[in-house]
C-alpha cells in the first residue's frame, strides 16, 4: 500500500539546524519511522547533537490524526530521546487545527515556537 505522506530531512551542520518537511496524511506508523530517520540525522551532528535547532515544517499537512499526535507526544516525552532534544524547536503549520494540535506539545516542551512560515521559524531559531 503506498504511503500518503512524503517527507524530507535536511541537516545543516554549519548552522546546526535539522529540518524535517512533511506533507500529506501522517499516520502514527509514519510518525514512528520518520522519527527514527530524524533521530539518525540529529546523531549525524556528533557532539553538536543537543546543541542544534530543529525545524518541523508541517505546512503541507492540514490535519494530523489524534493517534499520531499522541504518538508524537509520547516520543517528545520519552526520556531516552531527551539527549537529542534540540536547543530550540520550531513548528510551521498553516491551519488553525494543526496549530492547536502542535500547541498540545507545549505541555511537554513549553518553549517550542509555532509559526506560519518557514522564514519566520528560521529567523527565530537563529536568534540567540
Closest CA to 54 of 125, 116, 128, 127: 125
Over the stretch 31-83, which tens digit does the pLDDT of each residue have? 999 999 999 999 999 999 999 999 999 999 888 899 999 999 998 888 888 77
Q: Residue 16 region, left (φ>0) first, then alpha (ψ -120 to 50), else beta? A: left
- H-type alpha helices, 28-95: 28-43, 66-76
State residue 2's pLDDT score. 53
pTM of the model: 0.92
How sure is the predictor about 3, in pLDDT bands with cuts at 50, 70 and 90?
low
DSSP letter assigned to residue 6: E
Amino acid at each position: 500500500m503506498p504511503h500518503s505522506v512524503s517527507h524530507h530531512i535536511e541537516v545543516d551542520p554549519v548552522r546546526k539546524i535539522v529540518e524535517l518537511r512533511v506533507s500529506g496524511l501522517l499516520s502514527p506508523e509514519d510518525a514512528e519511522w520518520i522519527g527514527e530517520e530524524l533521530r539518525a540525522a540529529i546523531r549525524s551532528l556528533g557532539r553538536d547533537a543537543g546543541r542544534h535547532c530543529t525545524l518541523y515544517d508541517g505546512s503541507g499537512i492540514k490535519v494530523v490524526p489524534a493517534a499520531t499526535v499522541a504518538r508524537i507526544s509520547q516520543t517528545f516525552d520519552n526520556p531516552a530521546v531527551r539527549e537529542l532534544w534540540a536547543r530550540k524547536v520550531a513548528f510551521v503549520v498553516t491551519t488553525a487545527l494543526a496549530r492547536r494540535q502542535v500547541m498540545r506539545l507545549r505541555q511537554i516542551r513549553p518553549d517550542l515556537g509555532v509559526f506560519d512560515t518557514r522564514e519566520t521559524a528560521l529567523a527565530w531559531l537563529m536568534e540567540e
